[in-house]
Amino acid sequence: LEGIMTELIDGDLARSLLPPRPPDSHKGTFGKALVVAGSVHYPGAASLASAGAARVGAGLVTLAVGRSQLVGPGRIPEVTLHPLPEAEWGVLGDAAADEMLAILGDYQALLVGPGLGREKATRAFFERLLGLQSPRHRGQIGFRIATAGSEKAAVKQRPELPFTVIDADGLNILADLIHHPEPSNAAFGAVWDRLPMGRCVLTPHPGEMRRLLGVEQIAEHPVDVAKDAAARWKQIVVLKGATTVIADPEGRVRVNDGGNPALATAGTGDVLAGAIAGLLAQGLKPFDAATLGVYLHSAAGRLVRDELGDMGTLAGDLLPRLPLAIR
C-alpha cells in the first residue's frame, strides 16, 4: 500500500463515521432510501438490498418493483413498496422510469441495479432514470406524469439525482451503454460525463469491473484499478473481493482487508449495496458511506462466521448482524 492517500479501514475509522443517533430523533432524521431492484429471475435481490438499507439505520426504505414482483421472498414488513408499471411481465421500461422520476425528490439516496435484469426495455429504464439519454431527451424535456383520468401527460423538469448506488445489472447496463451505444446516442460524448460528478457509488465485483473497462482481464493491482477508474469516471468506486478497495476521484483510497468465505455466497453483494444506500440516506458523504458500508458488511460477516461457521451461511444471515456490527 502506497503513501498517505491509502488507508486501511479499521474499527476506529468506522466508528468515527457512524452518524449520531440523537434521543429526540424521528424517522425523518435518518433519511429515506429508494431501492429499485429485482426481476422475475432475481426476486431475492430486491428483498436483500432493501433490508440491507433498513438494517444500517435508514429512517425509511422504499422498494420500487414491477407490479408483477410485488410479492417477493423474505420481504421484511418494514420496507414500503412502490409498484411500477412494466413494459412486459417483470420487465421495467420508460413508464417505470417516469414513475421513479416523479417520486425521486422525496429520497436522499437511490440504489439501482441488484437483480434488475438486462432486457432492452430495462436498459431504456436505466438510461431514462439516470438521465443518460441524448441531451434532446434529457433535462429540457423532463419526464411525463400521467394526469388523472387522462392519457395526456404533463411534462415536468427532471429532479436532481439523489446520491446513487449503482450495482450489479445497473453496472452491466452501464457497461453496455459505454461499449455498445445506440447509434442515435453514440454522438453525445462519454456516458460518464452525463452522470452528476461525485454523486454515485459504483460497486463492481471483478467481473463487472472488466465489463465496465471493456477488458478481458484486469492486469494491474486492484488499488490501481479502482483509483484509475474513480479518477476517470469522477465517481466513488468500490472494487469488491476478499479485499475490497474504495477509491474516490481525488485519489483517496481505503482498503478493507477481510477475507471470509462466509461472504462468498450469492446475495451478499446485494446486502452491501443496500447498506451503502442506507448510509447515504443518513447523510454520509459517498466516500464515507461506501467505507462504513463495506466495513459493517465485513464485520457482520465475521459475526456470521463466529456464530454459524463459514459453510452454508446465507446472505440473509448478514441482515440481523448489521445492527450488532454497528453496536
Residues that bind ligand APR (CB under 6 A): 168, 205, 207, 240-242, 244, 258-261, 263-264, 266-270, 272, 297
Q: What's the helix, strand, coil split of the chain in %, to 5? A: 45, 20, 40
Nearer to ligand APR, 58 or 294 (CB): 294
Shortest gap between Cβ of 242 and ligand APR (angstroms)? 4
Binding partner of residue 283 among Mg ion, ligand APR, none, CB cut-off 5 to 8 Å per kind: none
Distance CA 150, CA 6 (A): 56
- Contact partner at residue 73 from ligand APR, Mg ion, none, CB < 5 to 8 Å by partner kind: none
Output the CA torsion sign for 16, 52, 115, 177: negative
Query: Which residue, 134 or 260, is less far from ligand APR as judged by CB?
Result: 260
Position of minimal CB gap to ligand APR: 269
Residue 222 partner contact from ligand APR, Mg ion, none using kind-dependent CB cut-offs of 5 to 8 Å? none
Query: What backbone phi and psi angles, to 5 degrees, belong to 208?
Result: -65, -35
Shortest distance, position 198 Cβ to ligand APR, whole Å: 22
Which residues have C-beta within 8 Å of that of residue 234, sequence separation ≥ 6? 192, 195, 197, 198, 249
Other CB atoms closer than 10 Å to residue 216's CB: what's the count? 7
Nearer to ligand APR, 101 or 318 (CB): 318
How far apart are CB 269 and Mg ion at their closest, in Å?
A: 3
Specify the residue, 45 or 325, whose C-beta has the smaller distance to Mg ion: 45
Helix axes 268-281, 286-308, angle to 10 degrees: 140
Partner from Mg ion, ligand APR, none binding residue 240, C-beta < 5-8 Å depending on class? ligand APR
Could you give the dihedral angle defined by the CA atoms of residues 48, 249, 233 and 291, in that order, rounded to the nearest 10 degrees?
A: -10
Residues, the chain = 327
Q: Name which of ligand APR, Mg ion, none residue 293 binds, using a CB cut-off of 5 to 8 Å depending on partner kind.
A: none
Q: Which residues bind Mg ion (CB under 5 A)?
A: 168, 269
Q: Which residue is nearest to Mg ion (CB)?
A: 269
Q: Which three cell numbers stand for residue 182?
A: 445506440
Helix (H, G, I), strand (E, B) or coil at 137: helix
CB closer to ligand APR out of 64 and 239: 239
Considering beta carbons, is residue 52 or 162 the nearer one to ligand APR? Answer: 52
